């Protein structure tokens, strides 16, 4: 994967997974000889929300559409910032605190663009991809996320 040409995503990228996200692999894939900066963002599960103790989160998705939307977002970012590499993967299913729920990696010749593109990707994924989290609290109640 480290030999990818500029403006490409991995041949068979995985955008949604039920398995733990392999951060090492994601970062390894982003290495590119023309990239001077790689930014890795991990969205992690917090153990509290609005003063309530969170037992776990349950993520669900309309997977085919989420994959389509995330693919478009990543490809748009690659073109917009002229990235050497970009990828993102979102986990679904039951996650406990400190688990990585979503990861975004961007590689560019310079760090400024790598940071900007990374934020662009995660912001759009959170707003547009059909993925939802339900917080299950220690007190036995649960609540679907209203929005991001």
Judged by the rule CB under 8 A, the positions of this chain that interact with other proteins are 43, 59-62, 64-65, 68, 90, 101-102, 122, 125-134, 144-148
| Closest alpha carbon to 90 in 53, 46, 124 | 124
Report, in Å, the least distance between residue 142 CB and other proteins.
9
- Least distance in angstroms from the C-beta of 94 to other proteins: 15
Nearer to other proteins, 61 or 118 (CB): 61
Q: How far is CA 109 from CA 14, 131, 139, in A?
A: 24, 31, 48
| Comparison of 13 and 43: residue with beta carbon closer to other proteins | 43
H-assigned helices in 49-110 = 63-81
Q: Which two tokens stand for residue 67?
A: 């994959």
- Give the 3-state secondary structure of residue 134: strand
In the complex, minimum distance from the CB of residue 79 to other proteins, in angstroms, rounded to a whole number: 21
């Amino acid at each position: 994967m480290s030999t990818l040409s500029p403006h490409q995503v991995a041949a068979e990228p995985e955008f949604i997974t039920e398995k733990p996200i392999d951060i090492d692999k994601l970062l390894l894939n982003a290495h590119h000889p023309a990239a001077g900066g790689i930014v890795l963002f991990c969205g992690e599960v917090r153990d509290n929300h609005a003063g309530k103790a969170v037992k776990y989160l349950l993520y669900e998705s309309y997977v085919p559409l989420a994959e389509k939307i995330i693919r478009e977002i990543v490809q748009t970012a690659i073109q917009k910032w002229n990235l050497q590499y970009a990828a993102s993967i979102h986990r679904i299913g039951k996650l406990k605190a400190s688990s990585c729920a979503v990861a975004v990696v961007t590689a560019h010749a310079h760090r400024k663009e790598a940071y900007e593109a990374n934020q662009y990707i995660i912001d759009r994924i959170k707003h547009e991809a059909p993925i939802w989290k339900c917080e299950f609290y220690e007190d036995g109640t649960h609540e679907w996320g209203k929005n991001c």
